[in-house]
Amino acid sequence: MNWLIRHAMCAMMPGGGELPGLDAADAADYTRAVRAESDWLYFLGLVLGAIVFAITPLITLGVPLPSFLLPAGMLDRHAQRVVAHRSYLIKQAVFLVRLNAGMCWGKLQAPRNALGQTLYAADSGSFRAE
């Protein structure tokens, strides 16, 4: 399921102009860390959100293909439409994927450089000891 989560996250954070997008390698490291460190219910929500993202091109584009088989232009339109869909349930289903995509993208060096921001210090992991 990690590959499906990575696919949905990368589709929601494409590059554009001077800002780089989220690539699969960075998303892979992030999804492994989320799976290892998060509660099972949180990760289940992330998986279900990725599944909803994958099966909704029929609703958003009228195309009976899963999102991972869409060409790049259609995938971008699907990502825009699914997060702005009039159905609250569809929007909320993919919200957790979008939230994680943003957190993963925002912690990377290249986007922070493009925005003139410095990197945060590495996480000490001290929350695990409490």
The tens digit of pLDDT for each residue in 68-116 reads: 999 999 999 999 999 999 999 999 999 999 999 999 998 888 888 888 8
pLDDT digits (tens, 9 = 90+) for 27-39: 898 999 999 999 9
pLDDT for residue 108 = 86
Q: Is residue 66 part of a domain?
A: yes
CB neighbour list of residue 43: distance below 8 Å, 6 or more residues apart: 34, 35
Neighbours of 18 (CB within 10 A): 9
Residue 8 clears pLDDT 80, i.e. is over it: yes
* Parent domain of 91: 2-14+22-115
- Assess if residue 106 is contained within a domain: yes
* Position 36 in a domain: yes
Q: pTM here? A: 0.88
Residue 125 has pLDDT above 90, yes or no: no
Residue 127 lies in a domain: no
Task: Give CA–CA dist 47/11, Å, rounded.
Answer: 15
**Number of separate domains in the chain:** 1
Q: Does residue 129 belong to any structural domain of this protein?
A: no
What pLDDT shows up at residue 52? 97
HSE-up (13 A, CA, CB side) for residue 105: 22
Q: Please, where are the H alpha helices in the chain?
A: 2-12, 24-37, 40-55, 57-60, 72-83, 88-106, 109-114
Q: What is the pLDDT of residue 1?
A: 84
